[in-house]
């Protein structure tokens, strides 16, 4: 497992952040089959732009974006006693509005949606390279871990989450294995500025402190390697 670290974001060939083609190391050995690389990055660091340029530079690669649309429209059926069906629920918004109530539910659903994307059959092309916007590993080692440390996941919820997370990934084995991570780095302040520009309704309440927490979690996991 390798970590490719881009200190600038976007980090492209040509210097100065100019939007030329991305520079990636050539895969070797077992990585030449069907490697799955994942950019685990903080919010609003530039991953969408990065993936677009990857797609333009490597059109045969299979790029899997984050399933935000699924989180915004979670089917929510009513109870048997209700005659009027309940419409879809914006789980992402609920998590940001009431993290102590909805964090465990959201992390469970986000993990499942990412795992489903990983288990989808690859395109019918020879030796497809698949790049995922985020992975079940960043769910565990960044987002869920941070929610527990700030008190939005209770110790019992965190213990249960770790138990089934580890069990599922062990059972899936090579089907959930990744060949490497692409880590796009930017300062929390830069991420906040970009987040404000894109103006997603659910993210209006995000503060710099939260982005600083996510930055620290990524650094501990991928750079300092202190995450357990």
**157 known member of a binding site:** no
Average pLDDT over residues 64-89: 76
Residue 212: pLDDT band (50, 70, 90) is very high
User: Does a structural domain hold residue 175?
Assistant: yes
At 201 the pLDDT is 78
**189 known member of a binding site:** no
Mean confidence (pLDDT) of the chain: 79
User: Does a structural domain hold residue 28?
Assistant: yes
Residue 78 contacts by C-beta under 8 Å, 6 or more apart in sequence?
Answer: 84, 85, 86
Q: How many domains does the chain have?
A: 1
Q: 91 with 74: CB under 8 angstroms?
A: yes
Which CATH number do you get for residue 144?
Answer: 3.40.50.300
Position 36 pLDDT exceeds 80 = no
**175 known member of a binding site:** no
**8 known member of a binding site:** no
User: Does a structural domain hold residue 26?
Assistant: yes
Residue 123: pLDDT band (50, 70, 90) is confident
Task: Write out the catalytic residue numbers.
Answer: 133
Q: Which domain holds residue 99?
A: 2-223
User: Does a structural domain hold residue 47?
Assistant: yes
Higher pLDDT residue, 81 or 211? Answer: 211
User: Does a structural domain hold residue 123?
Assistant: yes
**130 known member of a binding site:** no
At 38 the pLDDT is 55
User: Does a structural domain hold residue 228?
Assistant: no
User: Does a structural domain hold residue 154?
Assistant: yes
At 168 the pLDDT is 94
Judging by beta carbons within 10 Å of its beta carbon (0-12, 13-18, 19+), is residue 214 exposed, middle or buried? buried
**Strands (E) located in the chain:** 2-6, 36-38, 62-64, 130-132, 180-184
Position 82 pLDDT exceeds 80 = no
Position 81 pLDDT exceeds 60 = no
User: Does a structural domain hold residue 212?
Assistant: yes
């Amino acid at each position: 497992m390798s970590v490719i670290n881009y200190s600038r974001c976007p980090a492209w060939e040509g210097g100065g952040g100019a939007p030329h083609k991305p520079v990636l190391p050539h895969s070797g050995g077992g990585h030449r089959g069907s490697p799955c690389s994942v950019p685990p990055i903080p919010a609003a660091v530039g991953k969408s732009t990065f993936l677009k340029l990857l797609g333009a530079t490597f059109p045969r690669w299979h790029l899997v974006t984050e399933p935000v649309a699924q989180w915004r429209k979670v089917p929510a059926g009513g109870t048997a006693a209700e005659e009027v069906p309940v419409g879809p629920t914006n789980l992402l918004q609920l998590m940001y509005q009431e993290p102590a109530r909805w964090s465990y539910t959201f992390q469970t659903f986000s993990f499942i949606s990412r795992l489903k994307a990983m288990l989808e059959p690859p395109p019918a092309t020879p030796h497809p390279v698949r790049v995922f916007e985020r992975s079940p590993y960043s769910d565990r080692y960044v987002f869920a871990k941070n929610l527990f440390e700030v008190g939005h996941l209770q110790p019992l919820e965190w213990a249960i989450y770790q138990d089934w997370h580890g069990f599922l990934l062990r059972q899936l084995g090579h089907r959930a294995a990744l060949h490497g991570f692409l880590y796009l780095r930017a300062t929390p302040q830069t991420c906040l500025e970009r987040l404000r520009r894109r103006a997603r309704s659910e993210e209006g309440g995000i503060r710099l402190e939260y982005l600083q927490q996510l930055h620290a979690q990524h650094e501990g996991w991928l750079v300092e390697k202190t995450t357990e």
